[in-house]
Structures are given as structure tokens and as C-alpha cells.
Amino acid sequence: MKLHEYQSKRIFARYGVPIPEGDVATTPEEARAIAERLGGPVVIKSQVLVGGRGKAGGIKLAKTPDEAERLAAQILSMEIKGLPVRKVLVDRAADIRQEIYLGVVVDRAAARPVMMASSEGGVEIEEVARTNPEAIKKVHVDPFIGLRGYQTRYLAKGIGLDPTFHRQFDRIAHGLYQAFVESDASLAEINPLVVTANEDGSLSLLAVDGKMVLDDNGLFRHPDLAEMRDVDEETPTEREAREAGLSYVQLEGEIGCMVNGAGLAMATMDIIKHFGGEPANFLDIGGGAKAERVATALRLILADPNVKAVLFNIFGGITRCDEVARGILTALEEVKPDVPMVARLVGTNEEEGRRLLEESGYSMITATTLAEAAQKAVEAARNT
Ligand code: GDP
Ligand code: MN
């Protein structure tokens, strides 16, 4: 689950990371009121769950409350990468002298978090990794020992940060790391972390942007964070899938897949590609799926206009093949698909499952091995 910039920064702030003063507005009038309260120049920032808002025109500087209202109206009527802007963050504008990057992600290969810093702030870290990898400094953090002072010093020095900011950098890095761990995040990022000039002329660090991705599997431990989910940012399909307990990812291909188990779903997609097809989705109905969940899954697949064939690949263990067959039939009664369907049901109660499908009268292509099923699905999609 992704958090908005304003949500991420508020979490960071609880861990002592300095953020600009500001608030969220859903109307131009609210934006104006916030600007008036803050006094002085503000930035109006679209709150959408995609990167590169700046380049897309979703971040604007306003010198007066009048201008804040006008720009907020403009940004609130925008769509960024297909997402309508429904909220803007109005922050006190920072006088930026230097932009750096600071982030923590899970390094799966190393089986621990890695903290990264770069002197090239404001640029996407993936791009820096491509164009100027030496600019990125990394430290792996032992989850039992935690982030150590020598590690943050290594990062600060490595990116050439002026020593006057090292102490503050250390505090921010620790705050960010703590926020990451205690939220069960898979990513926590400040980009840019800036050196800003304060009113009295002194310089200090400030987190101007924030981004967090939380591990959905950890959300049950954080009801307060789970509540932050912005359902407006989900497509109706994603929302229906989540509420039904399905792992669903829409893709561009033409073969709709219904599979039980994430690993088997990945393998199914691979083998479809191997035989020259393209999967229309990743869909894991999970273990022990009941007929109702299977029916929802099939409805989601068939709602995709690109789907030219459907492949059911069910390996019955805890999931019973007859239960899956019942779900398929329930869905077929509602949505009358005009695309061919290939079923491979093996394992627990497979005979019963197959019998149900056969007796139903729906023409269903059957297969016993995964390779055979994939080939038949690719073939069927071609002939549709
Ligand atoms: P992103 O484009 O979605 O990553 O949004 P950011 O919040 O990172 O903003 C993009 C860029 O806008 C930053 O790298 C800064 O250069 C600039 N920016 C953001 N906030 C301020 C601000 O308060 N003052 C100034 N002068 N520039 C800002
Ligand atoms: Mn940014």
C-alpha cells in the first residue's frame, strides 16, 4: 500500500524528521486559507500516488494567497498519469540550497534493509542508478543491531554533505529508519532532503518530499496506517479484488489467468509467454478459496475487454477442485462469456471438479499438464 506524500511526511515528523509546515486542501478556497495562515510563499503539491509530479506540472510555487488559490484550482482539475488530482498539499515554500536523496528499502537478496543516500536529490533514484551509480552510497542495516552512527557518517561523507549538517543528517536517518521499521514498510524515502535557508539566515536540513510503501501483510498490526488507504486511488477492479481477498494485477495481454498460489501463478504466466501468448493478469485466488471468491475472480477476468481466452490452473491441496468448479459455474451463470476457457484442475477432488464442469454443459477445454493447458489457451486466444 502506497501512502501519499503528506501522509508519509507526517509519519516521518513523528520520528523527528523536520518537514515544512503545511496542510492538505481539497478546494482552491481551502488552499487559499492555508496560504494565508502560513504567510509568505507556498508550494502547491498534487497528492497522487505516482512519481514525477513536478515534471507533470503538479507542483507549483505561489507567492500570494491569490496565486495559491488560482494554482490550486488549476492543479485540482488536472489528471496526472491517468489519476485525477483530488487533494493538494500546501506547504511553506523552502529556500532550497542543495537537494539530496535519502531512502530505505528492503534488499531481498541481502535479507535486510538497505539505506541509500545520493548527492543527486530530486532525481528518481532508479535514474541515478542508471546514469551515475557512483553518486549512490549504501549501507545495509542489521535488523537486530539497528542503524549505527558510523553508517550514517559514512553516508553523509560519501555524498559530500557539509560536516555542519552531519549531526542533523544522523538524526534524520535514524528517524527515517525507525519509521520504516515500526510501520512495516518496504520503502521509506525522502527525495529531496534539502539544505534550506531559514528566516534568520541559518541553514538546516528539511524533508521536502516523502514517500512510503507499506507491506500489506503487516497492515493488520497497524490499524491506524491501514485507515490511511486512499480508495480513490484504486481502480474499481483493484478495489473489488482486494475486498474479496484476491491478489490481482492487471496486465496487457490476452489470456486471463486464474490460479491458486502466487508461485504457481508466476509459473503459469511464464509458461504462457513461453508458448507465445501474453497473460492478461496475475491472479492468485489464494489457498482454500470458496466458490464465491472464485466467482468474483472470474468476473474480474471477464470484465477485461482484452481477454480472448481464460486459463484456470488449479492445483488442489487445501483448495478443493470441486469448490473451484462450483465457483466457476456460479460466475458463468451471471456473466455469459464469449471467449474459450481452458481448465486444468488437478489434486484434491479433481474428478468431482471435472464432472461438475462437464455436466454443466459449458464447453470447456480441459488439460492435464500445465504445458498442455498453456498451449491450448494460447491456441484458443489466437482463434478468437
Ligand atoms: P516529485 O516531482 O513528485 O518527486 O515532487 P517533489 O516534492 O520531490 O518536488 C519536485 C521538485 O520541486 C523538488 O525536487 C524541488 O526542486 C521542487 N520543490 C519542491 N518543494 C519546493 C519548495 O518548497 N521550494 C522550492 N524552491 N522548490 C521546491
Ligand atoms: Mn520527489
Per-residue pLDDT of 102-112, as tens digits, reads: 999 999 999 99
Q: Which set of grid coordinates corresponds to residue 203?
A: 541553514
| Ligand 2 mean position, distance from CA 1 (Å) | 18
Sheet of 88-92: strand order equals 22-25, 88-92, 42-46, 59-62
Of 69, 92, 115, the residue that ends a domain is 92
Q: Is residue 28 a part of any domain in this protein? A: yes
**Same domain assignment for residues 243 and 341:** yes
Question: Does residue 91 contact residue 45 with C-beta atoms inside 8 Å?
Answer: yes
**Same domain assignment for residues 215 and 120:** yes
pLDDT at 360: 87
**Same domain assignment for residues 258 and 362:** yes
Best mutation site among 71, 119, 208, 212 for ligand 1 pocket (most ligand atoms within 8 Å of CB): 208
Q: Which set of grid coordinates corresponds to residue 81?
A: 498519469
Q: Is the CB of 357 inside a 6 Å radius of any atom of ligand 1?
A: no
**Same domain assignment for residues 259 and 287:** yes
Q: Is residue 9 a part of any domain in this protein? A: no
Give the Å distances, CA to CA, from 373 to 118, 190, 210, 311. Answer: 48, 46, 45, 7
pLDDT at 234: 74
Q: What is the pLDDT of residues 260-319, one digit of tens each?
A: 989 999 999 999 999 999 999 999 998 777 788 888 999 999 988 999 999 999 988 888
Q: Is the CB of 208 inside a 6 Å radius of any atom of ligand 1?
A: yes
189 is catalytic: yes
| Ligand 2 mean position, distance from CA 41 (Å) | 19
Question: Does residue 280 contact residue 272 with C-beta atoms inside 8 Å?
Answer: no
**Same domain assignment for residues 273 and 330:** yes
**Same domain assignment for residues 120 and 211:** yes
| Chain mean pLDDT for the chain | 94
- Catalytic residue (one of 189, 233, 323, 350): 189
Q: Is the CB of 206 inside a 6 Å radius of any atom of ligand 1?
A: no
- The contacts of residue 238 (CB under 8 Å, 6+ apart) are 248, 250
| Ligand 1 mean position, distance from CA 129 (Å) | 20
pLDDT at 276: 97
10 Å CB burial of residue 167 (0-12, 13-18, 19+) is: middle
Q: Is the CB of 99 inside a 6 Å radius of any atom of ligand 1?
A: yes
The closest-lying atom of ligand 1 relative to the alpha carbon of residue 56 is 2
Name which residue sits closest to atom 10 of ligand 1, judged by CA: 54
Q: Is the CB of 123 inside a 6 Å radius of any atom of ligand 1?
A: no
CATH number at residue 332: 3.40.50.261
10 Å CB burial of residue 161 (0-12, 13-18, 19+) is: buried
Q: Which ligand is nearest to the CA of 52?
A: 1
Q: What CA–CA distance (Å, rounded) separates 239 from 45? A: 26
Q: Which ligand is nearest to the CA of 98?
A: 1
Q: What CA–CA distance (Å, rounded) separates 338 from 255? A: 13
> DSSP readout, 290-325?
-HHHHHHHHHHHHT-TT--EEEEEEEESSS-HHHHH
The closest-lying atom of ligand 1 relative to the alpha carbon of residue 42 is 23
More confident residue, 51 or 190: 190
Res 236 pLDDT > 80: no
The arithmetic mean of pLDDT across residues 364-377, rounded, is 94
Q: Is residue 84 a part of any domain in this protein? A: yes
Q: Is residue 180 a part of any domain in this protein? A: yes
Of 62, 92, 122, the residue that ends a domain is 92
The arithmetic mean of pLDDT across residues 13-28, rounded, is 98
The arithmetic mean of pLDDT across residues 173-177, rounded, is 98
Name which residue sits closest to atom 12 of ligand 1, judged by CA: 54
Give the Å distances, CA to CA, from 173 to 102, 208, 359. Answer: 8, 15, 63
pLDDT at 93: 97
Residue 108 sits at φ, ψ, to 5 deg, of -65, -40
**Same domain assignment for residues 296 and 323:** yes
Q: Which domain holds residue 102?
A: 96-226
CATH number at residue 34: 3.30.1490.20
pLDDT at 158: 98
pLDDT at 96: 97
What does the H/E/C string look like for 23-91? EEECCHHHHHHHHHHHCCCEEEEECCCCCCCCCCCCEEEECCHHHHHHHHHHHHCCEECCEECCCEEEE
Q: Which ligand is nearest to the CA of 56?
A: 1
Q: Which ligand is nearest to the CA of 120?
A: 1
Q: Is residue 272 a part of any domain in this protein? A: yes
Q: Is residue 242 a part of any domain in this protein? A: yes
**Same domain assignment for residues 129 and 173:** yes
The arithmetic mean of pLDDT across residues 90-97, rounded, is 97
Report the sign of the C-alpha dihedral through residues 371, 376, 382, 384, in that order.
negative
| Ligand 1 mean position, distance from CA 194 (Å) | 10
The arithmetic mean of pLDDT across residues 149-173, rounded, is 98
**Same domain assignment for residues 106 and 188:** yes
Of 44, 72, 92, the residue that ends a domain is 92
Total tally of structural domains belonging to the chain? 3
Q: Is residue 10 a part of any domain in this protein? A: no
234 is catalytic: no
Helix (H, G, I), strand (E, B) or coil at 166: helix
Give the Å distances, CA to CA, from 263 to 3, 218, 291, 366. Answer: 27, 20, 21, 22
Helix (H, G, I), strand (E, B) or coil at 3: strand
Q: Is residue 120 a part of any domain in this protein? A: yes
| Ligand 2 mean position, distance from CA 137 (Å) | 18
Question: Does residue 65 contact residue 29 with C-beta atoms inside 8 Å?
Answer: no
Res 52 pLDDT > 90: no
**Same domain assignment for residues 218 and 339:** no
pLDDT at 343: 93
**Same domain assignment for residues 86 and 123:** no
Q: Which set of grid coordinates corresponds to residue 194?
A: 534539502
**Same domain assignment for residues 106 and 70:** no
Res 242 pLDDT > 90: no
